[in-house]
Copies of this chain bind each other. A is one copy, B any other.
Amino acid sequence: MQTELERQGVVVHTGVEVQRIETEQDRLCVRGSGGAEACADIVLVAVGVEPRTALARAAGAELGIQGAIRVNRMMETSLPDILAAGDCVETWHHLLKQPTYLPLDTTAHKQGRIAGERAIGRSARFAGTLGTQVVKVFDLVVARTGLRENEANAAGFAPLSVEGTYWDHTVHYPGAQRVQMHLVGDPATGRLLGAQMEGPVQAAVAKRVDILATALYHEMTVEALSDLDLSYTPPLGSPWDFAQLCAQDWSTVARKGQAHISGKEDAP
C-alpha cells in the first residue's frame, strides 16, 4: 500500500508520534517525533472508531466489548423493547461464535434490517460478521475476510499461513496482473480461517475475497475450495481461480507439516 501511495506522489511517514499541529501561513503543519514535519491545507485525524453510547448507558442498557451496547443476535439490548444496531453495538462474529466490536457499513445495514424485522414482530437473527473488508488506494485494492494469522492465534487456533503471488488471469491472454494472496487455515481440521488479497483494480480482488467470505460462511475446508465450480475465460480468470491455486499451495504445505512458508511476520 505504501508503494502504491508513493507511486502516486504521496509522501508516507510511519512510526512517527504526532506531537503538535500548528498553523503557518494559512497551512497546517504537523510535527512529530524524530523531527518529522508535514504541512498541508487539510489535516485529517484518523484515530479509530468508538461507539457513542452515552444515551444507552444513561438509560441503563448493559454495555459490552469496547463500551459498545450489548445486544443479542435479534438486536435486543438488556432493556425491554429497546433494540440497537450499527456502529454503537457489539457484533456477533460468525466464525468465532462470540461478540466482537467491528463497526462496518455492511454489518450496520444487516443489523438495522434485523432490528426492523424484530420491531414489527417478525423473528430474525443476525448471521454475524466475518470481518470482510476492502479498501481501494488509488489503483490498488486490498481486501480481507475472516481471520488474519495473528487473530487466528489470539482466538486459540494454531493456524498455518501461506502467502503467494498469482496471476489474475491466464498469462497467454494479454494484460494479466500480479496479485498477492495470503491464506490462513487450521491444519488440525483443514478448515479455512481467512484470506487477504491485494492487486490492481482490474484483478477484481474485492469480489474474489467475497468468494472466500461465502466459503467461510459455510465453514469450508481449504481443500474443498478446489471443488467450487468458478467461472473461467482467459481474459478474466484461470481454469483454477488463483484463490484455488493458493488453497492448493496451502494444502501442499500442510501435508508437509511446515508451520509457515512466507517467512514474513503478519502485520499487527
Contacts and interface: CB of A to CB of B under 8 A. Distances in A.
Interface in A182-241: 201-202, 204, 206-211, 213-215, 217-218, 224, 226-233, 235-237, 239-241
A77 interface: no
Counting chain A residues whose Cβ lies within 8 A of the other chain, the interface size class is 35 or more
Contact of A94 (B213, B217, B229, B233): B229
A161 interface: no
A136 B215 CA distance: 26
Contacts of A136: 233, 235-236
Given A210-B241, A211-B211, A211-B214, A231 B145 contact: yes
A135 interface: yes
Contact of A109 (B204, B209, B218, B239): B239
Contact of A231 (B108, B110, B134, B232): B134
A124 to B, nearest CB: 10
Contact of A127 (B131, B134, B143, B227): B227
A233 B107 CA distance: 13
Which of A106, A107, A201, A240 has the most C-beta atoms of chain B within 10 angstroms of its own C-beta?
A: A106
A205 B239 CA distance: 17
A128 interface: yes
Which of A136, A206, A218, A231 has the most C-beta atoms of chain B within 10 angstroms of its own C-beta?
A: A231
Given A106-B229, A210-B230, A214-B230, 9 more contacts: A110-B226, A130-B229, A131-B229, A132-B231, A134-B231, A209-B231, A210-B211, A214-B215, A218-B218
Interface of A: 94, 104-110, 113, 127-136, 141, 143, 145, 201-202, 204, 206-211, 213-215, 217-218, 224, 226-233, 235-237, 239-241
9 contacts: A106-B231, A109-B239, A134-B236, A136-B235, A201-B202, A206-B233, A213-B228, A214-B214, A214-B215
